[in-house]
């Protein structure tokens, strides 16, 4: 986002946006921020009680009525993705944006000792599910005047690092998926596609990856929202194929 970006309080008024991993961490903060700026937010995640808590917080703050989509991306297949797209088409007719935020950290180990099960799970949740959801939702995104697709990257998705295994590989794949899709849509569609690398942020995932760190040394998810708002709203119209740092 441009330095000092200050979103209009009505930035997302009338828009319908989907957030994956909306029950906790950065996804929760993004869902709340999008709702606070006027959006109807579709809350997708695997732990229904957490989604319900976000739902209640949005209602309590006077936001537009959200929708709950309890779904485990670890087991998402073509059929379920198609069903989801059909039900969203029926209920909303179009989609103004998707924030692909849900991810698994997996294990911090040398590749030589990586578990095959964990490897496949991380690639499924972080890459394959994002692909499937995006492919099935493209018609709904095309039906919006200028939709925004945001993928979530990481520092280890730009420079590989020891012991980051499948997670790092999945984030390189995410950057690649964003570039391929952005390039395909650039001249034929009004859909824009970009990545955000949140940078070190105080969430469960960060605390798990860096147990020795003092959690409060990193910014809260709420503090990194400007770029999430910028890319979701019309201020970023025409911006596509880029990877942003939230910090």
Report the alpha-carbon distance of residue 119 to residue 170 in Å, rounded: 10
Q: Is 198 in the site for ligand NDP (CB under 6 A)?
A: yes
CB of 228 to ligand NDP, least distance (A): 11
Q: How far apart are the first and last CA of the chain?
A: 10
Report the alpha-carbon distance of residue 237 to residue 146 in Å, rounded: 7
Nearer to ligand NDP, 155 or 241 (CB): 155
Structural contact between residues 42 and 17, judged by C-beta atoms closer than 8 angstroms: yes
- Please give the C-alpha separations between residue 172 and each of 36, 96, 153, in angstroms, as whole numbers: 32, 26, 8
Q: Given candidates 16, 40, 103, 236, which one binds ligand NDP under the rule CB under 6 A? A: 103
DSSP 114-156: --HHHHHHHHIIIIIHHHHHHHHHHHHHHTSSS-EEEEE--GG
Return the structure tokens found at 54: 């976000």
Q: Which of residues 221-240 bind ligand NDP (CB under 6 A)?
A: none
Q: Which of residues 123-142 bind ligand NDP (CB under 6 A)?
A: 125
Report the alpha-carbon distance of residue 188 to residue 209 in Å, rounded: 41
CB of 107 to ligand NDP, least distance (A): 14
Instruction: Number of residues interacting with ligand NDP: please give it, by CB under 6 A.
Output: 27
Residue matched to tokens 């596509």? 240
Sheet containing 148-152: order of strands: 67-70, 40-45, 16-20, 97-100, 148-152, 192-197, 243-245
CB of 8 to ligand NDP, least distance (A): 25
Q: Which of residues 17-76 bind ligand NDP (CB under 6 A)?
A: 21, 23-27, 45-47, 50, 72-74
Nearer to ligand NDP, 170 or 240 (CB): 170
Nearer to ligand NDP, 211 or 238 (CB): 211
| Binding span for ligand NDP by CB under 6 A among 33-41, 180-188, 197-205, 235-243 | 197-205
Say if strands 243-245 and 40-45 run parallel, antiparallel, or are unpaired: unpaired
Q: Given candidates 40, 134, 194, 201, which one binds ligand NDP under the rule CB under 6 A? A: 201
Q: Which candidate, 15, 168, 137, 156, places its Cα nearest to that of 71? A: 137
Residue 167 appears among annotated catalytic residues: yes
Q: Which of 34, 55, 167, 228 is catalytic?
A: 167
Nearer to ligand NDP, 6 or 207 (CB): 207
Catalytic annotation, residues: 167
In the complex, the residues that contact ligand NDP under the rule CB under 6 A are: 21, 23-27, 45-47, 50, 72-74, 101-104, 125, 152, 154, 198, 200-201, 203-206
């Amino acid at each position: 986002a441009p330095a000092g970006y200050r979103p209009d309080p009505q930035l997302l008024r009338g828009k319908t946006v989907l957030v994956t991993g909306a029950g906790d961490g950065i996804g929760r903060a993004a869902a709340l921020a999008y709702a606070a700026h006027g959006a109807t937010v579709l809350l997708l995640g695997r732990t229904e009680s957490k989604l319900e808590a976000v739902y209640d917080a949005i209602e309590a703050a006077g936001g537009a009525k959200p929708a709950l989509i309890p779904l485990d991306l670890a087991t998402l297949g073509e059929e379920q993705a198609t069903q989801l797209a059909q039900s969203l088409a029926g209920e909303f007719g179009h989609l103004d944006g998707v924030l692909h935020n849900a991810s698994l950290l997996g294990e911090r180990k040398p590749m030589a000792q990586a578990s095959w099960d964990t490897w496949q799970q991380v690639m499924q949740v972080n890459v394959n599910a994002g692909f499937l959801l995006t492919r099935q939702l493209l018609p709904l995104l095309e039906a919006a005047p200028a939709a925004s697709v945001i993928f979530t990257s990481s520092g280890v998705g730009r420079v590989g690092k020891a012991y980051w295994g499948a997670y790092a590989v999945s984030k390189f794949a995410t950057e690649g998926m964003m570039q391929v899709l952005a390039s395909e849509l650039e001249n034929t569609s009004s859909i824009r596609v970009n990545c955000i690398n949140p940078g070190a942020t105080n969430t469960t995932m960060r605390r798990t990856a860096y147990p020795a760190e003092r959690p409060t040394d990193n910014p809260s998810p709420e503090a990194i929202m400007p770029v999430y708002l910028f890319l979701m709203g019309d201020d970023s119209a025409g911006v596509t194929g880029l990877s942003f740092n939230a910090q």
